[in-house]
Structure 1
Amino acid sequence: MILIIGAMASETVKIETLIKNPDYLTISSKAVVTGEIMGKKVMLATTGVGKVNAALTLSAILATYPIEAIINVGLVGGFKPLHQGDMVIIKETAYHDFDLTIFGYELGQVPQMPTFYPSDLSLIKAVSSKLDLKHVRLYTGDKFLTNPLEMGSVCDMEGAAFYQVAYLFKTPIISIKVVSDVVGEQAQIEDYELFEQTSSERFKSIIGQIL
């Protein structure tokens, strides 16, 4: 079974229309749908915003269901030279708000964990054969960033948490994101709010092309 997972209903609601023979479940108080897309067994989960919601929901799913691969979709803030509307594949992700550097760890590194969590190479190849997307680094933290971090990268509030859980469960994961706003732009908040309203159609199209 392939798990498609996102944080907000505004990202996932239209994907649900692709699912044939849907069955509706609740896992850790979160809405989950199972069924088929293009003859493939899938599960669609919407976790809620933030690292705890992301980790809790994904952990509960992976502990209970035979998930073969995880596809994370969602909106991200982009750092220049990225533009609003750019679609990207995440090559690796790390936390931007976890800091134990005073004890010799790298910025973003959780003890006994890697600093960066990579996407599964076979999934990257499979998606790249169908979609021509930029490959970028994702930084995750429980804060909506308005100041740039690393040029050409993106940021969100769940991605690295999904990847850390997938790493611990040894489950292949990939993330496909769409830039909703450019961090530091004067109209960043307004850009995000307007873009979010139509984002689910974009992710429906992406999932329809890669499955």
Structure 2
Amino acid sequence: MLGIIGAMDSEVQELKNEMPDAKITSVAGMDFYEGHIHDKDVVVVKCGIGKVNAAICTQILADRYKVDSVINTGVAGSLNSDIDICDIVISKDAIEHDMDVTALGYERGVIPDMDNSVFHSDSRLIDVAVKSIEEANLSVKVFTGRVVSGDQFIAGKEKKDDLVNTFAGDCAEMEGASIAHAAYVNNIPCLIIRAISDKADGSAEMDYPTFEKKAAANSIKILKQLIKNL
């Protein structure tokens, strides 16, 4: 069973439309669509915005649906000058950038009492995603990079530069690292796919509404091909 998580309707609705006979179960205010896409067992869910919603959702997928892998699809702001709007970032790893216990001597992003704070993506899922993007014939560039997540919409140069300098982030969003975190503690392979909706700078508020739908549509195209290839 493959678990697919998006934070917003635009990130998962088209996948739900591919499952007309889906069994829908509501848990913790989230609707889990269980069915088939390309003859593969999948469960698709909108988790809502933010790290807590995303982590709760991932744990439900682990406990109730016993998923054997999790893919998080959606949009993000670019932190890398080479990565433009509508380009694709496949996660090599993910970090929670708003984890800050520096007052107790930890580096930013380090989660106390955990053996790991950088959550690496599954190598097989990365390979399948790269192949799937090539086959989807999207006229965008593809990057494998670091996703940094926090409960903030990044829309200023100072914060953007901080995330680049501190974490070497390639894109910023609000769910991926918490999904990767929850998958890690449950020993579930995980991958984050992000289409760039804005540049996470002073133009972000203007760019995001314009490009969010187009970026999300690109993510959906990739995910459909990826499901077929798994």
TM-score relative to the length of structure 2: 0.86
Q: Give % identity.
A: 30
Bigger drift between 49-58 and 194-203 goes to: 194-203
Count of residues in Structure 1 that have an aligned counterpart in Structure 2: 210
Bigger strand share: 1
1:47-196 → structure 2 map (5 Å cutoff): 47-79=47-79, 80-113=81-114, 114-132=116-134, 133-146=142-155, 147=157, 148=160, 149-150=163-164, 153-184=170-201, 186-196=202-212
Which amino acid is the alignment partner of residue 192 of structure 2? S
Alpha-carbon distance in 2 for matches of 1:152, 1:117 = 13
In structure 2, the gaps of 5 or more residues are 135-141
Distance in structure 1 (CA, Å) of the matches to 2:31 and 2:214? 21
Q: CA deviation at 1:166?
A: 0.3
The CA RMSD over aligned residues, in Å, is 1.6
Q: Tell me the CA shift for residue 20 of structure 1.
A: 5.1
Deviates more, 1:107-116 or 1:148-157: 148-157
Report the Cα distance in structure 2 between the residues aligned to 1:202 and 1:27, rounded to whole angstroms.
28
Distance 1:163 1:84, change over 3 A: same
Question: Could you say which residue in structure 1 is the equivalent of 2:4?
Answer: 4
After superposition, the C-alpha distances for 1:106-135 in whole angstroms (9 at most, x for unaligned) are 211111221210001121122223325310
Gaps of 5+ in 1: none
Report the 3-state secondary structure (helix = DSSP H, G, I; strand = E; otherwise coil) of the residue aligned with 1:13.
helix
Question: What is the DSSP-based 3-state SS (H/G/I as helix, E as strand, rest coil) of the residue aligned with 1:137?
Answer: strand
2-structure distance, mates of 1:202, 1:130: 12
User: Which residue type is aligned with residue 131 of structure 1?
Assistant: I
Q: Distance in 2 between matches of 1:32 and 1:199?
A: 23
SS at match of 1:136: strand
Distance 2:55 2:111 in 1: 14
Q: Is the 8 A contact 1:35 1:43 kept in 2?
A: yes
Answer yes or no: is 1:46 the counterpart of 2:63.
Answer: no
